[in-house]
Amino acid sequence: MNISQYQTWIDEIVALCKPSRVHLCDGSEEEYDRIAALMVKQHTLIPLKKRPSSFWCHSDPDDVARVEECTFICSEQKIDAGPTNNWCAPREMHERLKTLFSGCMQGRTMYVVPYCMGPIGSPYSKIGIEITDSPYVVLNMKIMTRMGMPILQGRSGGFVPGVHSVGVPLKPHQQDVPWPCNPKQRMIAHFPDESSIWSFGSGYGGNALLGKKCFALRIASVLARKEGWLAEHMLILGITNPQGQKKYMVAAFPSACGKTNLAMLTPTLPGWKVECVGDDIAWLHFGADGRLYAINPEAGYFGVAPGTSMKTNPNAMQTIRKNTLFTNVARTLDGDVWWEGIGQEAPPGLISWLGGPWDPKKGPAAHPNARFTAPSSQNPIYDPEAENPQGVPISAVIFGGRRGSVIPLIYESFHWQHGVFLGASVSSEMTAAAKGKIGTLRHDPFAMLPFCGYNMGDYFAHWLEMGKRSKGLPRIYYVNWFRKGADGQYLWPGFGENVRVLKWIFERTSNLASAEQSPIGYLPAALDLSGLDVDLREILRVDLADWQREVQELTSYFQLFKDRMPSALLEELRGLKQRLSL
């Protein structure tokens, strides 16, 4: 195989990081098994007797989530990173990285991991190469992407280079630890002008699997703006009605707000079927017919384990029966996994995510951001079109967040521009997916706050611009499964029952379901609630005083973007304010 076009870059990184060995990954099953066996020997992985070819591991307690405070967008100008990203001048960051990476792989193997984001052969797929000194990253990348040297064969185009190190060089004969990391010197740097990524000090998913958030969202969002498409933090699902008609929808929710559960939903309404294209990231392009088409750049799920059960997500439970990596869940004595919300009592002798016997007084057995990594192809409802190189045609775009109050279960935007305003107005209570205070409400426009690789104001403008390009645009919706009543209880049962909301959206996009106009958008005139006991009026209620406060809050938030804030969205905000005061 001819890798000479990549060799110069690989040689440069070898010279900088000084690994003891270099391993070019072929992406084969044998290679995966060999690396896993090595990690078992080093006590990083523990094989799970109850799940074929599956392993348990736990991270350093200080390396359990994305670290947004150490994540940088290094555009030439600060203004192009925008007010929502950390910024550093590219030259200064390169200097810092040179110091950090100098000799950082001593005593370790450097793995070269070529990978393809998107179906092989799709005109929309893109190639990256991740260099890493973490075998854990290699195994995860094998599941999450199409990975291995063969994907470079016959390619002459560019690639996105990514360099990752756990940041813990080993002296000769120094004993390694099961989860090396360097929390004090963590740095995840993106260079949008060079399309390159450097990540130091963390072994955790979104910080270390560079194909995922770093490439498929931050770098890809920059490329998408340049090239006229969209890279989004969205699930992609197919939904078929009892008459056999099928549509596809995408939905953007912040991390750990139920994207995986919605993407794999088991409908409670008879005759409806949901199939899954992807659970986290969508790349959207206009097709020749003017419609928006989505591909899933990933090949696996890096899903939140706690709360996943046969009741909440049976398809995920089937998906993770074999060939799965479990990170920071609890482990049972008989070689299985356990977490809070798995649907069974904790068995005696449980080993917590910290690696010792679980003491319930000291916290949960599984870390709230514990994850499974499993191949998409194992999903019993993997959509037959999921690997279609052209993608699947999208009928609806759904935004949402975790909001205990104010936001109704579902509403529809008046038109594209208003829909873009809905995306820009997403706020959500924080979850364990990122370091930070859980439960605090924060603005998370388009669920892209931690993932937009450029100025968020320009990103809004790009969405508005995309709406001018086509006549076959999907309609835009906003959902909130998390609204609570006066008693503090959730008003909506969620999970499989969410199909009732999807049904309304499905029928709206066929002009079959009726709606009522409200100041915030169209609300369902009725929902199919057969067999369900919920207070529809309460869950759809638009409280004028609440919404006036929401408008005030948004007015001050939008000021953050100064002259990069598109006037069309300020116009939408004024329109909303006016409609609320009538």
Q: Which residues are catalytic?
A: 257
Compute the least distance from the CB of residue 256 to ligand SAT, in Å: 7
Interacting residue with ligand SAT among 17, 35, 58, 66 (CB under 6 A): 66
| Beta-sheet pairing, 21-24 with 109-117 | parallel
Closest to ligand SAT by CB, 188 vs 540, is: 188
Given the rule CB under 6 A, which of 18-26, 48-56, 205-213, 409-417 is the region that contacts ligand SAT? 205-213
Enumerate residues 300-319 that contact ligand SAT by CB under 6 A. Answer: 302
Q: How far is the CB of 255 from ligand SAT (least distance, A)?
A: 3
Tell me which residue has tokens 């939903």: 265
Nearer to ligand SAT, 267 or 306 (CB): 306
Site for ligand SAT contains 433 (CB under 6 A) = yes
For the four alpha carbons of 429, 447, 200 and 54, in that order, the dihedral sign comes to positive
* Residue 212 interface partner, choices ligand SAT, Mn ion, none, CB cut-off 5-8 Å depending on type: ligand SAT
With CA atoms as reference, report the closest residue to 198 among 97, 75, 128. Answer: 97
Residue selected from 205, 306, 391, 419 as contacting ligand SAT according to rule CB under 6 A: 205
Which of 66, 462 has the CB closer to Mn ion? 66
**Is residue 206 involved in binding ligand SAT (CB under 6 A)?**
yes
Would you state the structure tokens that stand for residue 395, as one six-digit string?
A: 């009928």
Q: State the minimum distance, in angstroms, from the CB of residue 137 to Mn ion.
A: 17
**In this structure, what DSSP letter does residue 43 have?**
T
In whole angstroms, the minimum distance from the beta carbon of 254 to ligand SAT comes to 8
Long-range contacts of 531-536 (CB under 8 A, 24+ apart): 531/268, 532/493, 532/497, 532/500, 534/491, 534/492, 534/493, 535/485, 535/491
126 binds ligand SAT (CB under 6 A): no
- β-strand pairing of 392-400 with 246-252: parallel
**Look-up of token digits 């499974």:** 372
Q: State yes or no: residue 225 binds ligand SAT (CB under 6 A).
A: no
Contact between 186 and ligand SAT by CB under 6 A: the answer reads no
Considering CB under 6 A, how many residues would be counted as binding ligand SAT? Answer: 8
Q: Which stretch binds ligand SAT (CB under 6 A): 44-52, 173-181, 204-212, 566-574?
A: 204-212
| Between 115 and 506, CB nearer to ligand SAT | 115
**Among 126, 188, 176, 185, which Cα is nearest to 155's?**
126
Enumerate the β-bridge partners of residue 250. Answer: 236, 397
Q: Report if residue 190 touches ligand SAT, rule: CB under 6 A.
A: no
Give the burial class of 490: count Cβ atoms within 10 A of its Cβ; 0-12 exposed, 13-18 middle, 19 or more buried.
Answer: middle
Q: Among residues 137 and 434, whose Cβ is nearest to Mn ion?
A: 434
* Chain-centroid distance, C-alpha 192: 20
Q: What angle do CA 342, 345, 348 make, to 5 degrees?
A: 120
Q: Quick one: 167 or 206, whose CB is closer to ligand SAT?
A: 206
- Site string (232-271) toward Mn ion, x via CB under 5 A: -----------------------x----------------
Residue 550 touching Mn ion (CB under 5 A) = no
Verify binding: residue 213, ligand SAT, rule CB under 6 A.
yes
**Contact of residue 302 among Mn ion, ligand SAT, none (CB under 5-8 Å per partner type):** ligand SAT
DSSP string, 451-520: T-SS-HHHHHHHHHHHHHS-SBPPEEEEE-TT-B-TTS-BSS--GGGGHHHHHHHHHHTTT-S-EEEETT
Residue nearest ligand SAT, Cβ-based? 206
- H or E element: which one contains 30? helix 29-41
Q: What is the DSSP string of 176-237?
A: PPSS---GGG-EEEEETTTTEEEEES--SHHHH-TIIIIIIIIIHHHHHHHHT-EEESEEEE
Which of ligand SAT, Mn ion, none does residue 66 bind to, with CB < 5 to 8 Å depending on kind?
A: ligand SAT
Question: 227: which residues sit within 8 A by CB, 6+ positions away?
Answer: none
Q: What's the closest the beta carbon of residue 101 comes to ligand SAT, in angstroms?
A: 22
Under rule CB under 5 A, residue 207 binds Mn ion? no
CB atoms closer than 10 angstroms to residue 543: 12
- 236-265: contacts with ligand SAT (CB under 6 A): 255
- Pick one of Mn ion, ligand SAT, none as the site partner of residue 126 (Cβ within 5 to 8 A by kind): none
Closest distance of CB 205 from ligand SAT, Å: 3
Is 492 a binding residue for ligand SAT by CB under 6 A? The answer is: no
Which does residue 433 bind out of Mn ion, ligand SAT, none, counting CB within 5 to 8 angstroms by kind? ligand SAT
Work out which of 108, 212, 500, 508 binds ligand SAT, going by CB under 6 A: 212
Is residue 280 at the binding interface for Mn ion, with CB under 5 A as the rule? yes
With DSSP H G I counted as helix, E B as strand and the rest as coil, what are the percentages for the chain, rounded to 5?
A: 30, 25, 45
Place of tokens 């995408």: 250
Mark 307-334 as b/e (b = at least 16 C-beta within 10 Å): bbbeebbbbbbbbbeebbbbbbbbbbee
Residues that bind Mn ion (CB under 5 A): 255, 280
Residues that bind ligand SAT in the complex, under the rule CB under 6 A: 66, 205-206, 212-213, 255, 302, 433
